[in-house]
């Protein structure tokens, strides 16, 4: 320690020690130089003008005592927390985890049991339908085998008459010939019948569909990156720069160049890329629109004119889910099936399974299936859109 006159203080100098130059006790502390000084140093000596405080300060001691007490209480609180609270927390965590584990096992057990029951039911229906079709085919086989034998007998009899009888004798056999001919004409040609085909509707199950959709949506890494082909966009629609948003305009745009691909009347647009095989899903934000159509269409869909040929859902080229105000429906080939929804979806999901010839519309937020359509598709399918109110956007 350095004294006020530049010399060292004795090691361990504290309150009560004297400054050799002034002969006064070190009863003050210079905060600027961080050292004890005497009153003379503080008043007019080397530390004049510095921030000075008394070395003996009862308030400071009391403050430290209070801090020590607070630290003691804090230590006691932490000790109690470690000794009592944490073990209880650990025990409750173990107990809660065990209950959660049992709940998961119980619920999955119920789901598993339901799946097994539904599997058994559907497989029995498949077996029953297979047996029915098989029996129908056997019955037809027996029937047509008998018909062939009857026709062969009639033919043999008529050929025999032609071979062995003269004209006079044939005249005498007119009645028999008439009866034989009438009997042969009574045997009709085979006709196509649905009874001879396996009815795939026997495996349609709302439960299986919902479980399947939930599993598929949970396993897919993401939705398709669907973009709209600007060449197909109706002049009543505006396409965003990212080619995902369509905005309706009541005024026909004059900036759109007429092209073979463009819809010139209905507010339609096709995606740029078709789907030819596999499983595909995409989502559309429909929150802002009260008049829209979302679905799929064949590339042969006509683009020109105000007729139903180019109107989505009114021809054999398109399958769409549509909304107009508070009415929802599924449309294809001019057939419109009303859909009763509990609420208006803010987002609409489309799931296309080309292998199973299945088109589903679902609500992404809940995974609820809104409608399912089964049909063989005759070619690659394009996502298709129409909007006559505000905007709709493909969700990436």
Measure the CA dihedral 214/217/218/223, to 10°.
Answer: -170
Distance of CA 248 to the CA centre of its chain: 26
What is the pLDDT, as a whole number, of residue 37? Answer: 80
Neighbours of 205 (CB within 10 A): 15
Is 312 part of a structural domain of the chain? yes
Same domain, 246 and 141: no
**Residue among 288, 287, 289, 295 nearest 314 (CA):** 295
Same domain, 175 and 263: no
Distance of CA 333 to the CA centre of its chain: 28
> Residue 224 sits in a domain of what CATH number?
2.60.120.920
Is 217 part of a structural domain of the chain? yes
Is 222 part of a structural domain of the chain? yes
Same domain, 287 and 183: no
| DSSP notation for 191-256 | ---GGGS--GGGG--HHHHHHHHHHHHHH-S------B-GGG--TTEEE-TTS-EEEE-SSPPSSS
- Alpha-carbon distance values, 188 to 183, 184, 258, 348 (Å): 10, 8, 56, 51
Same domain, 192 and 220: no
∠ Cα 221 227 231 (to 5°): 165
Is 20 part of a structural domain of the chain? no
Same domain, 140 and 228: no
What is the pLDDT, as a whole number, of residue 19? Answer: 61
CA 347 – CA 368 distance, rounded (Å)? 12
Is 9 part of a structural domain of the chain? no
Residue 30's contacts (CB-CB under 8 Å, 6 or more residues apart) are 36, 37, 41, 42, 47, 50, 51, 52
Is 95 part of a structural domain of the chain? no
Q: Is 262 helix (H, G, I), strand (E, B) or coil?
A: coil
Q: Which two tokens stand for residue 168?
A: 């006079």
Task: Provide the domain limits for residue 384.
Answer: 206-395
Q: What is the pLDDT along the chain (396 residues), one digit of tens a residue?
A: 444 444 444 444 554 566 667 777 777 888 888 888 887 776 677 777 788 777 776 667 778 888 999 999 999 999 999 999 999 999 999 999 999 999 999 999 999 999 999 999 999 999 999 999 999 999 999 999 999 999 999 999 999 988 998 888 888 888 988 998 998 888 888 888 889 999 988 988 989 988 888 888 877 766 789 999 999 999 999 999 999 999 999 988 877 778 889 999 999 999 999 999 999 999 999 999 999 999 999 999 999 998 999 999 999 999 999 999 999 999 999 999 999 998 999 999 999 999 989 999 999 888 899 999 998 898 999 999 999 999 999 998
Same domain, 257 and 186: no
Same domain, 134 and 239: no
Q: How far apart are the first and last CA of the chain?
A: 73
Q: What is the pTM of this model?
A: 0.66
Same domain, 224 and 300: yes
Same domain, 216 and 361: yes
CA 35 – CA 26 distance, rounded (Å)? 9
Q: Is 167 helix (H, G, I), strand (E, B) or coil?
A: helix
Same domain, 268 and 380: yes
Backbone φ and ψ of 385, nearest 5°? -140, 150
Task: Please say which residue of 175, 196, 217 terminates a domain.
Answer: 196
Provide the edge-to-edge strand list for the sheet that holds 268-270: 268-270, 381-387, 291-298, 318-324, 327-332, 335-339
Is 271 part of a structural domain of the chain? yes
Element (H, E) at 179: helix 174-185
Same domain, 283 and 145: no
Task: Please say which residue of 196, 221, 247 terminates a domain.
Answer: 196
Q: Please return the burial class of 360, using the count of CB atoms within 10 Å of its CB with bins 0-12, 13-18 and 19+.
A: buried
Strands 381-387 and 268-270: antiparallel
Same domain, 211 and 165: no
Is 188 part of a structural domain of the chain? yes
**Residue among 353, 349, 385 nearest 365 (CA):** 349
∠ Cα 333 338 342 (to 5°): 145
Task: Please say which residue of 163, 196, 229 terminates a domain.
Answer: 196
* Counted domains in the chain: 2
């Amino acid at each position: 320690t350095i004294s006020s006159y530049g010399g060292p203080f004795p090691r361990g100098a504290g309150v009560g020690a004297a400054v050799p130059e002034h002969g006064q006790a070190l009863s003050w502390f210079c905060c600027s130089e961080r050292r004890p000084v005497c009153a003379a140093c503080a008043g007019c000596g080397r530390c004049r003008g510095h921030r000075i405080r008394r070395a003996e300060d009862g308030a400071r001691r009391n403050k430290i005592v209070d801090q020590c007490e607070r630290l003691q209480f804090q230590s006691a609180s932490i000790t109690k927390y470690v000794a009592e609270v944490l073990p209880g927390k650990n025990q409750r965590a173990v107990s809660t985890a065990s209950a959660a584990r049992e709940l998961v096992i119980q619920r999955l057990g119920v789901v598993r049991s339901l799946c097994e029951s539904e599997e058994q039911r559907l497989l029995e229906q498949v077996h029953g339908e297979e047996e029915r079709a098989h029996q129908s085919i056997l019955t037809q086989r027996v029937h047509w085998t008998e018909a062939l034998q009857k026709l062969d007998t009639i033919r043999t009899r008529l050929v025999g008459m032609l071979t062995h009888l003269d004209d006079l004798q044939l005249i005498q056999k007119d009645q028999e010939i008439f009866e034989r001919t009438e009997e042969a004409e009574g045997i009709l040609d085979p006709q196509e019948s649905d009874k001879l085909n396996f009815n795939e509707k026997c495996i349609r199950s709302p439960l299986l569909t919902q479980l399947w959709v939930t599993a598929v949506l949970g396993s897919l890494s993401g939705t398709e990156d669907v973009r709209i082909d600007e060449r197909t966009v109706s002049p009543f629609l505006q396409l965003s720069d990212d080619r995902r948003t369509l905005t309706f305009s009541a005024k026909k745009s004059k900036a759109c160049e007429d092209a073979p691909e463009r819809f010139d009347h209905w507010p339609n647009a096709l995606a740029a890329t078709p789907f030819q095989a596999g499983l595909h899903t995409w989502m559309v934000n429909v929150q802002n629109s009260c008049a829209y159509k979302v679905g799929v269409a064949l590339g042969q869909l006509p683009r020109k004119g105000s007729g139903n040929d180019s109107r989505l859902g009114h021809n054999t080229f398109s399958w769409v889910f549509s909304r107009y105000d508070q009415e929802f429906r599924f449309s294809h080939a001019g057939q419109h099936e009303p859909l009763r929804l509990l609420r208006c979806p803010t987002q609409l999901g489309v799931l296309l399974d080309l292998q199973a010839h299945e088109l589903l519309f679902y609500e992404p937020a809940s995974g609820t299936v809104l409608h399912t359509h089964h049909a063989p598709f005759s070619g690659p399918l394009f996502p298709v859109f129409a909007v006559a109110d505000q905007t709709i956007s493909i969700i990436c």
